[in-house]
């Protein structure tokens, strides 16, 4: 609506626009929050997946046994012969509310010098507030894709 002079907006026009934009924000903000949480979960799962590849390749490159020891929100990659920690990651630093579970009761994976994993197939599960991501490590050492 135009003012009496024919230029500009009335107070009613401004209030109507503010109400429309505000009501759209109420709908959009929760979706953005869920999107961010899902994105963090996907990134955390990708980091764990890549680190398992890294640990396996370290075992092959060094021709030694490498062990990955899990805790609920972190893990460390250890050279089995010396006990030296090759690298570690604490997921809660970058990804709050994300935890890791494994099907191995000891909470560890061991890669031998050929890259094979000790024992049976192990499933790694990364849980976050918006869902769960999984991948498997076969006894042959092959690491499956994320799902």
| Window from 25-29, 93-97, 131-135 with minimum mean pLDDT | 25-29
Does residue 4 belong to any structural domain of this protein? no
CATH of the domain at 47: 3.55.40.10
Does residue 72 belong to any structural domain of this protein? yes
The domain in which residue 19 lies consists of: 11-137
* Mean local confidence (pLDDT), 87-116: 91
Output the pTM of the full model. Answer: 0.81
Residues 32-84: tens digit of each pLDDT: 888 999 999 999 999 999 999 999 999 999 999 999 999 888 999 999 999 99
CA angle 129, 93, 111 (to 5 degrees): 90
Tell whether the torsion through CA atoms of 122, 117, 46 and 98 is positive or negative. positive
Count of domains for the chain: 1
Q: Are 142 and 102 in contact (CB under 8 A)?
A: no
């Amino acid at each position: 609506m135009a003012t009496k002079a024919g230029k500009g907006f009335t107070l009613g026009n401004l209030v109507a626009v503010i109400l429309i934009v505000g009501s759209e924000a109420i709908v959009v903000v929760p979706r953005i929050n869920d999107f961010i949480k899902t994105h963090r979960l996907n990134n955390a799962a990708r980091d764990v997946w890549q680190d398992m590849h890294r640990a396996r390749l370290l075992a092959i490159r060094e021709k030694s046994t490498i062990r990955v020891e899990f805790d609920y929100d972190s893990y460390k990659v250890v050279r089995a012969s010396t006990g030296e920690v090759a690298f570690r990651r604490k997921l809660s630093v970058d990804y709050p509310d994300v935890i890791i579970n494994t099907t191995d009761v000891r909470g560890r994976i061991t890669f031998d010098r050929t890259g094979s994993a000790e024992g049976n197939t192990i499933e790694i599960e990364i849980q976050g507030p918006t869902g769960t991501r999984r991948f498997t490590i076969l006894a042959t050492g092959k690491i499956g894709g994320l799902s």
